[in-house]
Amino acid sequence: MSQEPVGQEGRLQQVSGTARADSLKLPYPLLSDFPNLQVIRSYGVLDPTQVMARRAFFLVDQQGIVRGKWLVENKEVFPSEELLKTAQVMAQKR
């Protein structure tokens, strides 16, 4: 598969995406959407009660088309099987 994970977050305080990714030991880049939260709004995951993103996962193809969207409710652990299966199907179609 040639998918590349990228994390995105919008927070109330300014945090460097690199510093945050390093602190979490993430093996992929983390993009900041602070302070305008434009990406979060565009993807429809803004939680207006907390002015931050709801937990969500998106699979975006190389043309920038969203091929899968999963919302995580109630801060539960996200089951990755469906996301992985979708990513594998995307890779086979290339």
Lowest-confidence pick of 15-29, 55-69, 71-85: 15-29
Residue in the structure block whose two tokens are 């652990």? 77
DSSP H or E segment with residue 79: none
Let me know: does 30 contact 7? Beta carbons within 8 Å.
yes
Q: What are the boundaries of each domain within the chain?
A: 7-93
Let me know: does 50 contact 34? Beta carbons within 8 Å.
no
| The pLDDT of residue 17 | 55
Length of the chain in terms of residues written: 94
Structure tokens belonging to residue 61 = 């193809």
Question: Taking the model in full, what pTM does it have?
Answer: 0.65
Task: Identify the band that residue 9 occupies on the pLDDT scale cut at 50, 70 and 90.
Answer: low
Higher pLDDT, 7 or 66: 66
Q: Which CATH number does 7-93 carry?
A: 3.40.30.10
Which residues are paired to 8 by β-bridges?
A: 31
Span 26-55, mean pLDDT?
A: 83
